């Protein structure tokens, strides 16, 4: 079974401070991992995907297969980063082909 765990339900930082949202996963095959973000009163939207190795809005995430983690990081948090963040995994093995699993979500609040 595939599983995504975000250990922090709430995370508060001050503007300009570094931020790291943790994500750990459990999957027997080679996963594809994503971070989605939901700003207040907006739809959930893709922030970044591990395969692209891109930086979006200053956020980066590196897939660490040894630690089965995909933590989201930003060196200097901004107030507009306040949102709900979801880590997600899509599986392509066996009976779970194409199944997308989300973590529980982390609410990030950036204080001025």
Partner 1 sequence: EAQVTQNPRYLITVTGKKLTVTCSQNMNHEYMSWYRQDPGLGLRQIYYSMNVEVTDKGDVPEGYKVSRKEKRNFPLILESPSPNQTSLYFCASSLTSGVRQTQYFGPGTRLLVL
**Which spans of this chain sit near partner 1 (rule: CB under 8 A)?**
6, 9, 32, 36, 43-46, 49, 51-52, 86, 88, 90, 97-105
**Judged by CB, which is closer to partner 1: 11, or 44?**
44
Whether the Cβ atoms of residue 19 and residue 12 lie closer than 8 Å to each other: no
Contacts of residue 57, defined as CB under 8 A and 6 or more positions apart, other chains included, come to 47, 74, 81
- Nearest distance, CB of residue 94 and partner 1, angstroms: 12
The rounded distance, in Å, linking the Cα atoms of 18 and 53 is 19
**Judged by CB, which is closer to partner 1: 73, or 107?**
107
């Amino acid at each position: 079974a595939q599983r995504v765990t975000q250990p922090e339900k709430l995370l508060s930082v001050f503007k300009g401070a570094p931020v790291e949202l943790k994500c750990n996963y459990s999957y027997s095959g080679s996963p594809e991992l994503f971070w989605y973000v939901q700003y207040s009163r907006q739809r959930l939207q893709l922030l970044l995907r591990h395969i692209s190795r891109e930086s979006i809005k200053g956020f980066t995430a590196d897939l660490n297969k040894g630690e089965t983690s995909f933590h989201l990081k930003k060196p200097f948090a901004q107030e507009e980063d306040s949102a709900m963040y979801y880590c997600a995994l899509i599986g392509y093995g066996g009976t779970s082909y194409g199944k997308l699993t989300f973590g529980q979500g982390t609410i990030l609040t950036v204080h001025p």
